[in-house]
Amino acid sequence: MIFRIKQTRWLYVSLSILSLYLAFTITPVKASPPVTTSVLSSAQPTNSLEQGRNFYQSGSFAEAIRVWQTAAQQYHTQGDRLNEALSLSYLSLAQQELNQWEAARQSIEQSLKLLDFGQKRSVRVDYTRT
- pLDDT tens across the length of the chain (130 residues): 555 666 777 777 787 887 777 676 776 656 666 555 545 445 444 578 899 999 999 999 999 999 999 999 999 999 989 889 999 999 999 999 999 999 999 999 999 998 886 555 544 545 454 4
DSSP string covering 110-126:
HHHHHTTTT--------
Cβ-in-10-Å burial (0-12, 13-18, 19+) of 24 comes to: exposed
Q: How far is 107 from 85, CA to CA, in rounded Å?
A: 9
State residue 45's pLDDT score.
44
